[in-house]
């Protein structure tokens, strides 16, 4: 009995002196492990007389359970102490600025932003996106769009021609996004409702012209599409894009080979110094070309003009971006100057949507 008491007080002392969980664990192993002091005592039970065993059995079991409990209590105390220590040591200054990641420093180019805005607006009206290649056939860029052969309009576009091929034909860098109309009508059945944003090329360069620029084309073809529909689509688009409640529009007769009637659209604006404010004032600003698709274009696209009709429009993306975001020089768009992009670019996670807002 004295032995058991001595053993117990020795182990209890070790337990209370254990200063961390690792030491406590070694105390546990040395007492309760396979070769631990208590386990060894338990093994002696087998060799005892029944009377001795009757006395020692409960005593040893009691010892074992008291030690087990004491270890568990000490363990939770040590855990709490360790946590307290960590909390004291590991302070976090939440007033420090965070390190900037790519999403904070990278910027979305205004052209990409405006393309996303266009897409959000027209997708909401039920338009799909159609795309075509930058290098086009003369047929898709001109002939199918009702440009007569050797017509000066082909030259008006300041076309970049690629070297003549063996069969005598020449590919071109598309001068407008209108060839995507042709590709769409030749590959899809009406009803068609698409917008075609993309790069376009003309041999031209000054403050408002660059050899590569961006356009967006719109096309609607079905059996009844009419000018009233066109006007509504454009008006809704302009209001949504410029984020204004109403927009004044003026349709002027114009000429494009691929539309009949053809019109240019001006929107109401006010000029304040160099700045142009859309949606107010008595000035006008030309913004896009449009019209009813010419029957010859429908025929070139294997559609019967007696059955189908439609309207189309084309617009400079860079130009409406300059207008909306007050960027004065188009050439800076393609200058790859990071300072310009830092200033005019958009945060990558601010994805334009009609619900979340286009530009904020």
Q: Closer CB to ligand DAH, residue 113 or residue 159?
A: 159
Q: CB 109 → ligand DAH: shortest distance, Å? A: 22
Q: Which residue is nearest to ligand DAH (CB)?
A: 314
176 binds ligand DAH (CB under 6 A): yes
- The binding track of 177-216 with respect to ligand DAH, each residue x by CB under 6 A or -, is -x--------------------------------------
Q: CB 246 → ligand DAH: shortest distance, Å? A: 24
Q: Which of residues 255-284 bind ligand DAH (CB under 6 A)?
A: 256, 259
Assign 3-state DSSP to the chain and report helix, strand, coil percentages, each to 5: 45, 20, 35
Instruction: Kindly tell me the sign of the dihedral angle through the C-alpha atoms of 71, 73, 79, 84.
Output: negative
Instruction: Kindly tell me the sign of the dihedral angle through the C-alpha atoms of 53, 58, 61, 66.
Output: negative
Binding range to ligand DAH, per CB under 6 A, among 38-46, 51-59, 73-81, 306-314: 306-314
Q: CB 189 → ligand DAH: shortest distance, Å? A: 20
291 binds ligand DAH (CB under 6 A): yes
Residues with Cβ within 8 Å of 19's Cβ and at least 6 positions away in sequence, in order, are 78
DSSP state of 268: E
Long-range contacts (CB closer than 8 Å, 24 or more residues apart) made by 272-278: 274/328, 275/326, 276/323, 278/238, 278/242, 278/244, 278/247, 278/323, 278/324
Bridge partner list, 136: 172
Strands 135-136 and 172-173: antiparallel
The string of DSSP letters for 232-263 reads HHHHHHHHHHHT-S---EEEEE---TTEEEEE
Binding range to ligand DAH, per CB under 6 A, among 90-98, 124-132, 234-242, 310-318: 310-318
Binding range to ligand DAH, per CB under 6 A, among 107-115, 134-142, 272-280, 287-295: 287-295
Q: Closer CB to ligand DAH, residue 147 or residue 333?
A: 147
Q: Which of residues 238-257 bind ligand DAH (CB under 6 A)?
A: 256
Residues near ligand DAH (CB under 6 A) are: 176, 178, 217, 256, 259, 289-291, 312-314
């Amino acid at each position: 009995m004295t032995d058991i008491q001595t053993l117990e007080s020795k182990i209890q002392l070790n337990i209370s002196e254990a200063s961390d969980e690792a030491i406590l664990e070694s105390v546990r192993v040395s007492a309760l492990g396979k070769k631990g002091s208590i386990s060894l005592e338990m093994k002696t039970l087998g060799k005892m007389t029944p009377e001795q065993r009757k006395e020692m059995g409960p005593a040893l079991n009691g010892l074992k359970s008291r030690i087990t409990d004491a270890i568990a209590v000490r363990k939770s105390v040590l855990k709490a102490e360790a946590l307290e220590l960590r909390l004291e040591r590991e302070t976090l200054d939440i007033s420090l600025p965070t390190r900037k990641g790519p999403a904070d420093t990278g910027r979305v180019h205004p052209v990409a932003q405006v393309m996303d805005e266009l897409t959000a607006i027209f997708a909401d009206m039920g338009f799909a996106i159609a795309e075509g290649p930058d290098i086009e056939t003369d047929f898709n860029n001109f002939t199918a769009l009702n440009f007569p052969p050797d017509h000066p309009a082909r030259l008006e576009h300041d076309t970049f021609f690629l070297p003549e091929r063996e069969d005598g034909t020449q590919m071109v860098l598309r001068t407008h996004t209108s060839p995507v109309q042709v590709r769409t009508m030749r590959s899809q059945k009406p009803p068609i409702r698409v917008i075609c944003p993309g790069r376009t090329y003309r041999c031209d360069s000054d403050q408002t012209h660059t050899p590569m620029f961006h356009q967006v084309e719109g096309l609607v073809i079905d059996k009844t599409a009419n000018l009233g529909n066109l006007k509504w689509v454009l008006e809704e688009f302009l209001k949504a894009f410029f984020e204004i409640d109403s927009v004044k529009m003026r349709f002027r007769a114009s000429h494009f080979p691929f539309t009949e009637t053809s019109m240019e659209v001006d929107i109401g604006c006010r000029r304040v110094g160099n700045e142009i404010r859309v949606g107010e004032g008595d000035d006008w600003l030309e913004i896009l070309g449009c019209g009813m698709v010419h029957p010859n274009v429908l025929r070139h696209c294997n559609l019967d003009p007696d059955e189908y009709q439609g309207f189309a429009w084309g617009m400079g993306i860079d130009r409406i971006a300059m207008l909306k975001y007050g960027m004065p020089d188009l050439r800076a768009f393609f200058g790859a100057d990071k300072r310009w992009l830092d200033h005019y670019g958009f945060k990558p996670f601010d994805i334009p949507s009609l619900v979340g807002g286009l530009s904020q």
